Amino acid sequence: MTRLTSPTQTEKPMLTSYTRFQQEFATGLASAIEAAYSESIDDASLYSDTHVAALIERPRKAQFGDLAFPLFPYVKLVKEAPPVVFEKIFAKLYLPDDLGEVTFAGGYLNLTLNTTRLAKALAAEILPAPDQFGSSSFGAGKRMLVEFSSPNIAKPFGIGHLRTTVIGASLNRIFAFLGYETVSINYLGDWGTQFGKMIVAYQKWDGEKELAENAIKGALSLYVRFHEEEKNDPTLSEAARLAFKKLEDGDPEMTELWEMFKTVSWKEFERVYNVLGIKFDLITGESFFNDKMDEAISRLEKAGLTSESRGAEVVDLGEFNLPPCLLRKQDGATLYATRDIAGLMYRWDTYRFCESLYIVGSAQADHFKQVFKVLELLEDAEGAAPDERMTGKVKHIPFGWVKFEDQALKTRAGHVIYLDDVLQKAISLAESKIRDKNAELADLSNVAKQIGVGAIVFSQLSVRRQKDVNFTWEGALNYEGETGPYLQYTHARLSSLLRRYHSQSDEQSVPNYNELDYTVINDTNTHQLMATIARFPATVENAAKEYEPFLISSYLLELTALFNSFYQRRDENGKIVKILSDNKALTDSLMSIVIMTRATIATGLHLLGLEAPEEM
């Protein structure tokens, strides 16, 4: 056997059970269409495998089967009624014997996969290594930078920071699961005029005393007071600007204060990251680029991109319908954009990434457009070779606001909800629930933490990125329905089943998938459950492609809902049909599905950043 080593091979998605079924269906359909209609359809590409495969979709409802092929385009071409088109294609349709059953409904040619074949294919795909299901080597050899969280450490860690943190951590895990070498970066806001403000406030209003009791809340009250008094006292803004300028020029007193603020806040942030279970490969701050600004700016100057405008040094982006990108203020101090540009240059030189993602709120969309455009202009001007360009590889991944009780959270106005408070409340609620339901649970407090944190994390990932989410205590502390704890609960149920199965059967391991008899399974619920499991690899891939962890969240909700009704399905008398029964062939087969479902849920939860407790 010869192994093909074409360079495109790694670009192809892994061949999963699901994609294989699609291919077989498409191939069969393509030849059937050709046989039936090659006379009346001139364009041969309309019955090519790839064209047909692209048309195949998933039916809206399970009753229509597993795969659907819309006949409308052909109906229009040959000017025949849909049922006629169906009959003609169906007459020429030869699919592998065991692929499934074809039906016609509503203008679609539908395929319901053969349950036994579906089950066998899945078992062969998953059971040998359940943990690996859905993973791939697609990203092998590619380096992916994911910058997220990036809090401004002059401010408290509020729930406003939750989304970037949770979305970024999830994307990082997803890409790693797909074989990428990921570098998670926390780019701390540890520089800028805000520190000038803090320093002024600290010196003016006895900050030492203010911070002594509770550093974080003390710092916040200084910050809030500054913004309140600034409204009536313009000299404060000027003082802050000056303080920051002194800091930037290396003034020892300013530097000492700045270090102190940094240490105090970072301690608090680190604690919260630990609770969330998030680690970074690289923690840097804007200040890291202080000594790299001049070089970045002079590179832009040499390329002839800079100009002077109203006393500031800028890159004019008027022809791209963007405001000018400011590099230096009138007083010579640099800005956010300058640091991001220097940062990108540095990252490109250091990492040569295949992609670099910025998980930052959509309010900063224009900022990133500017920065990326400046770099594009620079690479154009320097005549960089195509593979030496970072343009197109750097991406802003935007997301909507977190609002509280329908109001925007404004740190400056002191309107803050501490993430830590939220997490602690969620955890103690989980704890009291466990005491109600499963008081003897070993490791109770650790499981409570997993569930409480899971509830909060999941709440941020159960809506598409671009939408604003409205934080309410009621919503965050609801553990029923479409929530993180619901997913975790289902996982715990599955784990419990597995424990019982092992305790009553001789073998401690997974059933041998070659010997399983799936012909004993014929109900639609189980079929649907398996068809849904089969979609997991494609779901992970889509989540990566769209930078959208939500796709995994909604998939998991669908999967767990199906499992829970599978688990509680009833016979004619309304009695629950148990999975573990005296019928060994049936039990083994059902348990193989339990094992596959459990592994999929555990992996999915992990990719979202939730723990999967075995008991709760």
Q: 577's torsion region: left (phi>0), alpha (psi -120 to 50) or beta?
A: beta
Selection from 349, 245, 248, 348 nearest residue 293 by Cα? 248
Provide, rounded to whole angstroms, the least separation between the CB of residue 388 and RNA. 29
Restricted to residues 564-603, the positions that interact with RNA (CB under 7 A) are: 564-565, 567-568, 574, 576-580
| 84 versus 365: smaller Cβ distance to RNA | 365
Provide, rounded to whole angstroms, the least separation between the CB of residue 448 and RNA. 8
Dihedral sign (CA 339, 342, 345, 346): negative
| 215 versus 580: smaller Cβ distance to RNA | 580
| 182 versus 409: smaller Cβ distance to RNA | 409
| 121 versus 579: smaller Cβ distance to RNA | 579
Provide, rounded to whole angstroms, the least separation between the CB of residue 91 and RNA. 20
| 35 versus 561: smaller Cβ distance to RNA | 561
Selection from 572, 570, 537, 567 nearest residue 555 by Cα? 537
Q: Is 497 in the site for RNA (CB under 7 A)?
A: yes
Site string for RNA, 280-299 (x = CB under 7 A): ------x-------------
Q: Read out DSSP for 188-243?
A: EB--SHHHHHHHHHHHHTTHHHHHHH-HHHHHHHHHHHHHHHHHH-HHHHHHHHHH
Provide, rounded to whole angstroms, the least separation between the CB of residue 386 and RNA. 26
| 182 versus 456: smaller Cβ distance to RNA | 456
Restricted to residues 24-53, the positions that interact with RNA (CB under 7 A) are: none
CA distances from 450 to 209, 372, 471 (A): 37, 39, 20
Going by their DSSP bridges, the two strands 306-309 and 312-315 should be labelled as: antiparallel
Among 192, 207, 549, 604, which residue sits at the site for RNA (rule: CB under 7 A)?
192
| Cα 470–Cα 476–Cα 479 angle in degrees, nearest 5 | 135
Restricted to residues 401-420, the positions that interact with RNA (CB under 7 A) are: 401, 408
Selection from 576, 587, 607, 599 nearest residue 490 by Cα? 599
Supply the angle between the helices 336-351 and 365-382 in degrees, to the nearest 10.
60
Cβ–Cβ under 8 Å, residues 113 and 531: yes
| 357 versus 451: smaller Cβ distance to RNA | 451
Provide, rounded to whole angstroms, the least separation between the CB of residue 361 and RNA. 8
| 14 versus 312: smaller Cβ distance to RNA | 312
d(CA 60, CA 347): 44
- The contacts of residue 503 (CB under 8 Å, 6+ apart) are none
Q: Read out DSSP for 121-157?
A: HHHHHHTT-GGGTT--STTTT-EEEEE----BTTS--
* Cβ count within 10 A of residue 385: 7
Provide, rounded to whole angstroms, the least separation between the CB of residue 585 and RNA. 16
Provide, rounded to whole angstroms, the least separation between the CB of residue 47 and RNA. 16
Provide, rounded to whole angstroms, the least separation between the CB of residue 213 and RNA. 27
Q: Which two tokens stand for residue 278?
A: 């998030």
Only one of the segments 22-30, 113-121, 311-319, 349-357 lies at the binding site for RNA (rule: CB under 7 A); that segment is 311-319
- Output DSSP code: residue 45: G
Site string for RNA, 315-334 (x = CB under 7 A): ------x-xx-x-xxx--x-
Site string for RNA, 124-163 (x = CB under 7 A): ----------------------------x-----------
Q: Which residue has the tokens 């385009």?
A: 73
Buried b (16+ CB within 10 A) or exposed e, 569-601: eeeeeeeeeebeeeeeebbbbbbbbbbbbbbbb
Provide, rounded to whole angstroms, the least separation between the CB of residue 130 and RNA. 19
Among 433, 528, 585, 586, which residue sits at the site for RNA (rule: CB under 7 A)?
433
Provide, rounded to whole angstroms, the least separation between the CB of residue 524 and RNA. 12
Restricted to residues 335-394, the positions that interact with RNA (CB under 7 A) are: 335-336, 362-367
| 184 versus 370: smaller Cβ distance to RNA | 370
Supply the angle between the helices 524-534 and 115-126 in degrees, to the nearest 10.
40
Provide, rounded to whole angstroms, the least separation between the CB of residue 73 and RNA. 5
| 88 versus 339: smaller Cβ distance to RNA | 339
Provide, rounded to whole angstroms, the least separation between the CB of residue 352 and RNA. 26
- Output DSSP code: residue 324: -
Site string for RNA, 245-284 (x = CB under 7 A): ----------------------------------------
Restricted to residues 58-117, the positions that interact with RNA (CB under 7 A) are: 59-61, 64, 68, 70, 72-73, 75-76, 105-108, 110
Only one of the segments 20-28, 217-225, 380-388, 463-471 lies at the binding site for RNA (rule: CB under 7 A); that segment is 463-471
Site string for RNA, 524-553 (x = CB under 7 A): --------------------------x---
Provide, rounded to whole angstroms, the least separation between the CB of residue 567 and RNA. 5
Among 467, 502, 545, 584, which residue sits at the site for RNA (rule: CB under 7 A)?
467
Among 23, 290, 411, 478, which residue sits at the site for RNA (rule: CB under 7 A)?
478
d(CA 582, CA 604): 32
Neighbour-count burial of 259, counting CB atoms closer than 10 A to its CB (0-12 exposed, 13-18 middle, 19+ buried): exposed
Across 258-305, the runs of DSSP E, i.e. the strands, are 282-285
Cβ–Cβ under 8 Å, residues 407 and 432: no
Provide, rounded to whole angstroms, the least separation between the CB of residue 537 and RNA. 17
Restricted to residues 437-456, the positions that interact with RNA (CB under 7 A) are: 437-438, 451
